[in-house]
Structure 1
Amino acid sequence: MNRTVSFDDLVTEAKALLAQEGRRFMALAGAPGSGKSTTVEHLAEALAAEYPGQVAILPMDGFHYDDGVLHQMGRRPWKGAPDTFDVGGLRMTLNRLADPAEGAVAVPVFDRDLEISRGSARIIPAGVKLILVEGNYILLDQAPWDGLRPCFDTTVLIDVPEDELRRRLRARWVHFGLNEEEIAHKLDGNDLPNGHVVMQHSRADLTYQQE
């Protein structure tokens, strides 16, 4: 049964996973602008002193299709929608990370300034015991995303009011220099509709409600 938790509860849940044998995975999903990356970074920081070197972050954004591929698909204006990610690549990476025989694993990183994914840009060492996986769609109950579910030990959905999402997303696109027409497309043609998909079709053990 899903239950609502605080940030301190997330820390407690993460510590419970770290106390178990083997490598564990906590998945944190949310709409665009919900603060997934910030939440995960704060969670990793909260664990760092007690569990040095044992926690790593794996963002879904590293598995964006390249812009050239999106142009071929006719989906470049909708970059960030569920069908613009290499879900199979993410699943294979999670499988590799779950296999002790793999040792250290290289993972891709999305460069937001360049708007591209850089392959093998970061190494997750063999000694990491907990991987915090974050992304918009990783808990969707729709194919192919639902194929990720067996990879996760604990799942969290971050819940943020839509007016706050709109404020944060608008500030993001202003920061990147978009004009009003471009911002309107990003917000109402892409980001917020994608957020509705996330909140309506994600299934999680826990809901973290931000104030």
Structure 2
Amino acid sequence: MRLNTAELVERAAGLAIDAARSGEARVLGITGPPGAGKSTLAAALADGMAPGTAVVVGMDGFHLSNKVLEAHGSRGRKGAIDTFDDAGYAALIDRIAGRPLGGPPVYAPEFRREIEEPIAAGTAVTGEPLVITEGNYLLAPSGAWPAARARMAEVWYIDLPDAERLRRLVARHHAFGKPLPDAEAWACGTDQRNADLIATTRDAADLVVDWV
């Protein structure tokens, strides 16, 4: 479905209104392949609503550390589905979803691209009625991912033509320090293998978004 930011903000705001009426938080998931614009859309949704209405919690905060990935021999596949703490992510979403709006803060990790590592307690979820979470594997049918999905009110899948998605990915990797040939190789290699897996989950989304 082709929708603009204002239309998507209106739909997300409806979830926030439902949460405020019930007194319990709602979780909105944003998923799609690498480079589709998940974090950009999540931020746009939060920024488009009244202050204190929404907060963004990224799945990427549950990246395994580089030290752990090296011990597993999977540093070269960072971003693959098995390089995340899916059980930890599911536990966090369970803590957030349905929590009383007046309850104590819940702290979530966040991922810092400039150091390529997760940081503990980087985001505070306080009294916001809507928590927006974004990441690659929100609709994956394996591991603990379904447990996280079960606690989300809706999950939206972002569609983007591969040529534009790959252009964005290469630019992002290059901006964060990869030489251009390495950025292109990563985007067309590791990232593309992950994108192929994520594409198989598209039909499980509540909304498939062609975001304009």
- TM-score for the superposition, normalised by structure 1: 0.90
Looking at structure 2, the residues matched to 148 and 182 of structure 1 have their Cα atoms a distance apart, in angstroms, of 33
**Residue type of the partner of 2:140?**
L
Looking at structure 2, the residues matched to 46 and 178 of structure 1 have their Cα atoms a distance apart, in angstroms, of 33
Q: Displacement, 1:181?
A: 4.6
1:154 corresponds to: 154
More deviation, 164-173/142-151: 142-151
> How many residues get paired?
204
Do the aligned partners of 2:166 and 2:188 also contact (CA within 8 Å) in 1?
no
**Pair 1:165-2:178 in alignment:** no
Q: Displacement, 1:14?
A: 1.2
- Deviating runs (4+, > 4 A) in structure 1? none
Q: Displacement, 1:25?
A: 0.9
Do the aligned partners of 1:5 and 1:206 also contact (CA within 8 Å) in 2?
no
1:81 corresponds to: 80
2:45 corresponds to: 43
Looking at structure 2, the residues matched to 176 and 53 of structure 1 have their Cα atoms a distance apart, in angstroms, of 31
Change (3 A) 1:168 1:197: same
Instruction: Return the match for 1:13 from 11, 14, 17.
Output: 11
SS in structure 1 of the partner of residue 200 of structure 2: helix
1:176 corresponds to: 176
Looking at structure 1, the residues matched to 47 and 6 of structure 2 have their Cα atoms a distance apart, in angstroms, of 13
SS in structure 2 of the partner of residue 77 of structure 1: helix
Q: Displacement, 1:180?
A: 4.6
Percent of aligned pairs with the same amino acid: 33
Unaligned runs of at least 5 residues, structure 2: none
1:129 corresponds to: 129
2:189 corresponds to: 189
Unaligned runs of at least 5 residues, structure 1: none
Looking at structure 2, the residues matched to 81 and 160 of structure 1 have their Cα atoms a distance apart, in angstroms, of 20
Tell me how large the CA RMSD over aligned residues is. Answer: 1.7
More deviation, 68-77/197-206: 197-206
For each residue in 1:103-162, what CA deviation from the matched residue of structure 2 results, as whole angstroms up to 9, or x when unmatched?
Answer: 20111011110100011122111x110000101111223333222221100110000011
Looking at structure 1, the residues matched to 16 and 173 of structure 2 have their Cα atoms a distance apart, in angstroms, of 37
**Residue type of the partner of 1:32?**
P
SS in structure 2 of the partner of residue 19 of structure 1: helix
Looking at structure 2, the residues matched to 9 and 207 of structure 1 have their Cα atoms a distance apart, in angstroms, of 14
Looking at structure 2, the residues matched to 207 and 8 of structure 1 have their Cα atoms a distance apart, in angstroms, of 16
Q: Displacement, 1:10?
A: 1.8
**Residue type of the partner of 2:154?**
T
Looking at structure 1, the residues matched to 123 and 148 of structure 2 have their Cα atoms a distance apart, in angstroms, of 21
- TM-score for the superposition, normalised by structure 2: 0.90
Q: How does 1:191-206 map to 2 (within 5 A)?
A: 191-202=191-202, 203-206=204-207
Change (3 A) 1:163 1:32: same
2:56 corresponds to: 57
Do the aligned partners of 1:96 and 1:102 also contact (CA within 8 Å) in 2?
no
**Residue type of the partner of 2:168?**
R
